[in-house]
Structures are given as C-alpha cells and as structure tokens.
Structure 1
Amino acid sequence: MQRRHLIAGGLAAAAMPTFALAQGLEKPKVTIAVGGKNLFYYLPLTIAEQLGYFKAEGLDVNIVDFAGGSRALQAVVGGSADVVSGAFEHTISMHQKGQPMRAFVLQGAAPQIVLGVNPKTLPNFKTVADLKGKKIGVTAPGSSTNVMANFVLAKAGLKPSDVSIVGVGAGNGAVAAMRAGQIDAIANLDPVITLLQRSGDLRIVTDTRKLAEAEQVFGGPMPAGCLYAPQSFLDKNPHTAQALVNAMVRANKWIQQAGGGDVIKVVPESYLLGDRAVYIDGFLASKQAMSADGSFPAKGGQTAFNALASIDPKMAGTKVDLNAIYTNDFVKQANAKYPKG
C-alpha cells in the first residue's frame, strides 16, 4: 500500500463527524498515562492519536507522558489519569496488591526491551554474571525495563540487590548516560537502542525485539505494551473502552502495512532523536514484535506471571486469576468492525 494512501486513510478518519459517536460514550474525554511515549513500544498509541483514530470514535483523548511505566501507573492509581498505556505485567502486580487492573488491547506481542552493556566501562564483558556490582540504566525503577533486567539477572544467579538500578528515561537522557559512562549496562527500547548500537556505545546481550528470542528468554509468549485500566473503569465505561480499542486496533493494522518512511511522516519530529535513518532502522527492528490485531495470546498471562514470580518471592506464593488480568472481548468486536484497519 502506498504511503499517501496510508496517511490519507488516517486523515479521512480525523475528518469524520464525531458528535453522534460521542453521544453513546459514557466518558468522551479520556486521559491516558504513558511512560516513554516516543518508544516503538507505544507506537500504536501515537499512530491512533496522530491519524485521528481516537477522534473518529468520538473520543477526546489527552495523553500524558511520564519517564517510565511505573509512574504512568501511579497516575491512574492516584486518579489523575483513566487508562495506562503500559506493560502487561503490571496488571498482575496490581492484582496482587488488591487493586485489580485489566488489560484490554495489546500493542506489543513481545517486550522489545534490549539489555546491553557499555563497551567503555565493560570492555571485557563475558556473561551476565559480570554485571554484579554494576549500574544498570532503566527507563524508571519498577518499570518493565527494570523487570526484564531483573529477570535476565536472575537466570544468571544474580539478585536485584546485586546491581544498582538507575532511572535514565526513554530518550536522549538514556543515550547521554551510556555515552558518558554513567551506567555500565542498559535495559531500554528503540529508538534509544538502535541509536546507541549505531554509534558503537552498546553491545547487545539480550534482544526481545525478536519474537523467538523473547519466547526463549521468558519461556513463552510475553505480552508487552497494552492499554489497561482499573476493572471499575471498564465496568462503568464499556462503550468508551470499545472506542479506545477500535482506534488502537486500527493503528496496529496500519503499522503492519507501513514502512519506515510512512511512520516518520506521522510521528512527531522529536521522536527521531535527530536521526531519521536510525529511527527507520529501529522501526524495522521492532516491527515484528508489534501486535498485528490487538489480541492477547492465551498463554501470555502465565508467562508474565512466571517472569514476575521468578524475581519476586511474594508473587511466587500468590494466586492470581490470570483470566481477570486481560480480556479479548473488546478486541474481537474491533476486528469485526475494522477487518482491514
């Protein structure tokens, strides 16, 4: 499909009348909290926003960006946002805390998180065990990048307390921290990873942008970026939730048909981190890890639970109803309405 057709389709959606649609929505104005909006991890969110898919569903969406997913989650818990665009595994940890959250549309079929080391500070790195006593940069402490780092460390026999976790964000700050030698390793996402790799400031150790490697690391399908919200929000606002999912599913399908050149014409200039070629390379590296239609895999909940339980003794002894942490009901309706996006 040609670029002009891809973009024209989104602009046409933005021009559709929304008054009639909005009348059926319980909550037309929705605030979504996200941690690192510029990341490919959340690209469907940006595409849905930029191409007018939310507006086409009668929604007035305000997206608030934070340094990491854990802070975005705090915004919803605190009541300043309605929905989180964040990591799937947070729904499990929130159920454990007695604050049920439910994921209702998938953005990433794999975490897309890369763990790599700094060749300047660790020139003789051989195994993950060499990270003992070192500083590892993550988007924000407690975020999915932190969880992934802890998981890889655990497989190497290291505890979270064996390293120092440093929050470096998901943009230029993360790049600067690596180049300045302030951190010895990093768990982050594209375009940060591709930018560091291209400049020789990163040696990749584990790459979950690759579906096969992600499944090998986690032992099964590991759902990643998604929209999730308190169960009470979904119960009170089913039409609003459906409208959000319709927009996200359309964005997922647009991405599957898009090339790097299409994407850079839609996303804000600031996402490119000053290098369009690097951004396109990052998109191509991450594309296979993005959800094709917003559906959660049947075994994804168990995989995510196992990952969390392996690094959190409290989680290991907890019983969580894995059917209560996600639903494909909204996604099924969205795919029926927009079979081609």
Structure 2
Amino acid sequence: MQRRTFLAGTAALAGATFAAAPLAFAQGKPETSKVAIAVGGKNLFYYLPLTIAERRNYFKDEGLDVEISDFAGGSQALKAAVGGSADVVSGAFEHTLLLQAQKQSFREFVLQGRAPQIVLAVSKKAMPNYKSIADLKGKKIGVTAPGSSTSIMASFVLAKAGLTAKDVSFIGVGAGAGAIAALQSGQIDAIANLDPVMTKLERTGEIRVVSDTRTLADTRSVFGGDMPAGCLYASQSFITKNPNTTQALTNAMVRALKWLQTATGSELINTVPEGYLLGDRAVYLDAWQHVKEAMSPDGLMPADGPATSLKTLQAFDANVQGKPIDLSKTWTNDFVKKALATVKA
C-alpha cells in the first residue's frame, strides 16, 4: 500500500476539523484515566522511552491506565488513531505533517528521539556488487510497513540520488525477527530498519550499510539538520479535551527519558521484555550504544526539527508538495516544559 493511498483512506476515516485550539494547562487529575496508545514496532529502540514508562510504572504513577497496542509499522499505528481505536500514537513526527496535508490536525507533545535511528543497508548476498544508491533501482527494499518512517527515510535517500519510490518495491517486513528472516531468505534485496535489528545483521556480516541516522552527526549529514523522530502525538481535539491527561502522559515520558540518561546496561536489560533482545543480550547492549545519543534527553522538540522534517517530505512526497503546512500546529513544547519543572527521574 502506497502512502498516498493510505492517507486518502485516513482522510475518509476521520474528517478532523483543522482549527488549532489553544493549549490549556489545568492542575488536577486526568480527565480520563484510560488511554489507548498505538505504536508500530514497540521492541525497537525508537520507542524505548514508551516501554520504560510502561515497565517502570510511570504511567500508573500519574494515575493512568495505559493500554499499548503494537502494530507492524507506524503507518498502521496512525491508522488506529485516525480510526478512533487509539487515543495517542507513539510514532514518527513526520506523520503529523502528512496528516495536516490531508486537513487533519494532530500535534506532537513530547519527543522520544532526536535522531531517526533508521539504517538503510543492502544485502551482501543479494547485491554483492553494490556501488551506489542508483543500484537499488528495481530492487525490493524491506521496511517496517509501507508509509512508515522507515520507508520515508528510504524514499528521501532515493530522491537525493534521483530515484523515486516507484523505482523500487517497498515490502513490509515488520520490526523484529521477521525482518531479519526476510533479508536472510532473500525475500528482499535491501532493508531500512532500526536497532536492534540492524546491529544484529551487522554483527553477522550480512549487510552493507549505505545510509545511517543513528547519531546526530549522521542524521544532520543525511537530512541537513536536526530530524525529530519518535514522539507521542494525538489529535488536537484529544489534547484540547484532555489537557491533564496529556500532561500526565508527558510527565511519565519525561521521567522515562531522564532514567535512560543514566541507566546502566544491566538495568536496561532487566527492564525490557526478554523478547526485545532477539536472543542475544550482547547484541542488544551493542545496539544500545549505537543509538543512545539519538534519545531525547528532555523531550523537547529542537527548534529546527519541524522544518527539517517538512523539507524531507517535500523532497519526494506529492501529498505534501505544494500544500500549505503550518508547522506551529503540529507540535508543542508546552507540556514538556511543565514536566521538566516538576518531574524528577
């Protein structure tokens, strides 16, 4: 399913009004204690702060009963929120821009990652003579799910080399063992995925990395600026109706981000589910060192982040090109600033 097809479908699912209501902050208990969060690939480091907040009971400490539904990719998690089965998405910031282009108002309110952590690599077995991005023409590229941040990153790298998404086939392979199996079995020629998947494939020598966004320096090299990544976002209507709930979610996430800044490897291993480790604790800890810098230390959106995200989409996505996008309506640091003033790790 191509992104434009998916977004057309989401527009039909929910015609959210596009009037950005002012943000309000009232002290008090959450307006609703039950919150449904959709995520695409929960085992990935991209969403690690969400898992930490859940496993260390930070949501419960805020008076929230959070139910997390895991999907194969971010585009599917977004569809759940637009369709009404989820209140909040833990997903890529750029989806708020894609939705605004469809006249739907969703807003980021706490950042999880300040670098995408996505790695584009080719299979050494399938493409032993790889020389440049142009060699990907006609190839099958595995992504978490079509329309997700992994396909967005790959599409941007292709566009810089003069190719379009139509020149390749994006194949949804998920974010765990299935993605590894797809590459090993030859179902795909290249892969755009995240850690710990990519570090495991690197350790076994099965891939050649051609574009990497796991560090701030590499991210700025690829995108030309700070590129915001995983975040919590919700419809403007949800935020307006539930400011205390939104604040409680933010408090829990900021607390998780602070914990990650000082957590030891053993503390991390003992916190995440066993299934996250892909059967190899050493690889998981190695991957953590690769992406630790990509985690937001405080949940704040960088000043140039939204503009970098928009520029990236405009480079290749016809759904955004030529559309008037008001970046100020796609994010806010207000909830995070309040959390930073009160939340302790």
Does the alignment reach a TM-score above 0.5?
yes
Which residue number corresponds to residue 182 of structure 2? 177
Cα pair 2:116 2:229 within 8 Å, conserved: yes
Query: 55, 59, 63: which is aligned to 1:58?
Result: 63
| 2:73 is aligned with 1:71 | no
SS in 2 for 1:58: coil
Cα pair 2:28 2:244 within 8 Å, conserved: no
Which residue number corresponds to residue 104 of structure 1? 109
Query: Partners in 2 of 1:24 and 1:121 — Cα distance?
Result: 55
Which residue number corresponds to residue 16 of structure 1? none
SS in 2 for 1:254: helix
Matches within 5 A, 1:110-125: 110-125=115-130
Cα pair 1:88 1:223 within 8 Å, conserved: yes
Query: Partners in 2 of 1:135 and 1:179 — Cα distance?
Result: 13
Which residue number corresponds to residue 316 of structure 1? 321
Which residue number corresponds to residue 209 of structure 1? 214
**How much has 1:133 moved relative to structure 2?**
0.4
Paired letter, 1:256: Q
Cα pair 2:113 2:230 within 8 Å, conserved: yes
Which residue number corresponds to residue 155 of structure 1? 160
Query: 254, 259, 268: which is aligned to 1:263?
Result: 268
Query: Partners in 2 of 1:40 and 1:274 — Cα distance?
Result: 16
**How much has 1:194 moved relative to structure 2?**
0.5
Query: Any stretches of 5+ residues in structure 2 without a counterpart?
Result: 1-26
Percentage identity across paired residues of the two chains? 64
How many aligned residue pairs are there?
319
**How much has 1:164 moved relative to structure 2?**
0.6
Matches within 5 A, 1:120-159: 120-159=125-164
Paired letter, 2:125: K
**How much has 1:298 moved relative to structure 2?**
1.1
| 2:50 is aligned with 1:45 | yes
Cα pair 1:70 1:141 within 8 Å, conserved: yes
* Cα displacement string for residues 179-230 of structure 1 (whole angstroms, at most 9, x for unaligned residues): 1111110000000001111111111111100111101111111000000000
Which residue number corresponds to residue 335 of structure 2? 330
Which residue number corresponds to residue 190 of structure 1? 195
SS in 2 for 1:298: coil
Matches within 5 A, 1:8-23: none
Query: Partners in 2 of 1:284 and 1:48 — Cα distance?
Result: 20
Query: Partners in 2 of 1:289 and 1:248 — Cα distance?
Result: 15
Query: Partners in 2 of 1:102 and 1:195 — Cα distance?
Result: 34
SS in 2 for 1:44: helix
Query: Partners in 2 of 1:192 and 1:183 — Cα distance?
Result: 15
**How much has 1:313 moved relative to structure 2?**
2.9
Which residue number corresponds to residue 296 of structure 1? 301
Cα pair 1:260 1:284 within 8 Å, conserved: no
TM-score (norm 2): 0.91
SS in 2 for 1:216: helix
Sort the Cα spacing of 1:314 and 1:75 in 2 relative to 1 into closer, same or farther, 3 A: closer
Which residue number corresponds to residue 15 of structure 1? none
**How much has 1:23 moved relative to structure 2?**
7.2
Paired letter, 1:242: Q
Query: Partners in 1 of 2:134 and 2:84 — Cα distance?
Result: 41
Query: Partners in 1 of 2:71 and 2:265 — Cα distance?
Result: 25
SS in 2 for 1:312: coil
Which residue number corresponds to residue 83 of structure 1? 88
Sort the Cα spacing of 1:193 and 1:238 in 2 relative to 1 into closer, same or farther, 3 A: same
Which residue number corresponds to residue 3 of structure 1? none
Which residue number corresponds to residue 16 of structure 2? none
Query: Partners in 2 of 1:292 and 1:314 — Cα distance?
Result: 32
Query: Partners in 1 of 2:63 and 2:117 — Cα distance?
Result: 31
Paired letter, 2:110: V
Paired letter, 1:83: V
Cα pair 2:143 2:193 within 8 Å, conserved: yes
| 2:260 is aligned with 1:243 | no
Moved more, 291-300 or 258-267: 258-267
Query: 242, 249, 257: which is aligned to 1:252?
Result: 257
